[in-house]
Structure 1
Amino acid sequence: MVDVLNRNHVNVIGEGDRTLLFAHGFGCDQSMWQYILPAFEDQYRIVLFDYVGSGKSDLRAYTSEKYRTLRGYMQDVLDIIDALELDKVTFIGHSVSSMIGMLASMERPGRFDRLVMIGPSPRYLNDEGYFGGFDPEDIAELLEMMEMNFAGWASFMAPLAMNNPERPKLSQELERSFISADPAIAREFAEVTFMSDHRQELPLASVPALIMQCSEDSVVPIEVGAYLHRHLRNSTFRLMEAKGHYPHISHPQETIAVIREYLAAPGLS
């Protein structure tokens, strides 16, 4: 238990019988939830963690072999659930964590109550009959930039992903998060993220899910959210007014309101 909690820098805060497990996206860590956490601390037990390679996780635990697919990260989520003996968890995942949480819920459906997916995508690459938002050459260029000029990639990607140009401090905050990561691990995580394809698993997932789709998202187009909703059973779709890919940072009040509404929906214990 201690090894798992240290490995992923696990923190437990808040009070309540129901547990919310927050999982950050690529290039971030658990601190990115700071703007919405106060709204839930009084009613819920909150579990925060950093994926290995991010934040204050134990970098010594990282191996390319384990984390060459999202299932390596999925196993870490299950390890945390087992270590804390969590049950009926509401998993709140941002971006790639949405698919990690879905895979974990398929592995142990009895441990999960609901999934909240913020900016999710089952596949980022375009395919025949599917619009994911990126062509292969886009991803190849991004990965090459990360390898050749990591700081340059961070300064380029942060404002593009945040997409709130009238609030430059948000992009600067995201850029600092990007640049704080280990460049080699971040590049491998990026490749795993952008090359993943979990469309085939969607019909097999059974845990109810909320799909929070942001408007004008340069990372996950609206077509992706609609695709997810069509293929994911027991899913609820909400198109947000929030622009960009990080609504929990740029539009915390709307993010809180949408999550609260879903948590209060009938059928949740």
Structure 2
Amino acid sequence: MSIRPVLETRQSQPFVEGAGVHLHRAFGFTDPTEADPFLLFDDFRGDDPADYQAGFPWHPHRGIETITYVLAGEVDHGDSLGNRGTLGAGSVQWMTAGSGILHQEMPRGNAAGQMHGFQLWANLPSDLKMTAPRYQDISGSDIPEVTDDDGTVARIITGQFWGQRGPVDGIAADPQYLDITIPPGVKKRLRVDTYRQTFAYVFEGAAAFAEASAPQGVLLEKEVGGQEVNIRDMSGNRTLVRFGTGDEILVQAGEQGVRFLLISGAPIREPVAWHGPIVMNTRAELRTAMAELRNNTFIKPAH
């Protein structure tokens, strides 16, 4: 087993998106190779409805998949294909925009006015850019949850982990999307496919992520599979942790425990031409998409 080195830890940054939603962005709209096949990750949460209730009114997508995971409150959604629905706490929507879709997402707080969710954008490879759009709406009760002997809990949204498979399927990046909770002080090793790009996003508590031969850090274990393993400072709320290659991450939960998303996917390694919510491979394809938006041919007929 090889421990994945920590390439970088950084705080997500405040942004305002949609019609005035205050959120924090961990990555997006900079280097599309950084987290390939993933393009953008947003954490939207708040206790004041004024920070989120304006929502994300009608807007287009093409060439990507958007993954919305709701922890608190609800998100009402609708699209140009006539789909309508509400994502409740604990539920997930995996939308494949493909050839093009217009949709809206309008957050609503719970009884206490609280709203919390995440949105991840995954790129589509060139041969699936113009695939037919589709939705997968998964209720929280349908997401498997596994508790290990030490109290670690894993919610498995997609991919296979600890003998369970998440309910979201047929995704181009063949990703693993896990919601991990580790009790206070527990040290945990979590397997990750060696060939997938991987990141963690801490959103409750704090943890330290170990790596082999960290130049600055405290020795965590003298040896793990022949490696010296060191640990960096604690990563807390709204921290992105990017990993190098390897087949395990090693994490030490802090005094309050930790909850984080652990997400990995197979890199696409194709050219990216990106303008707002439309992601293609060439500038010419982007120009075509924008022209189709103007002349009302963006939405393709169902086959």
Task: Provide TM-score, normalisation by structure 2.
Answer: 0.23
Task: Provide TM-score, normalisation by structure 1.
Answer: 0.25
Please tell me whether Structure 1 or Structure 2 has the larger radius of gyration of its CA atoms: 2
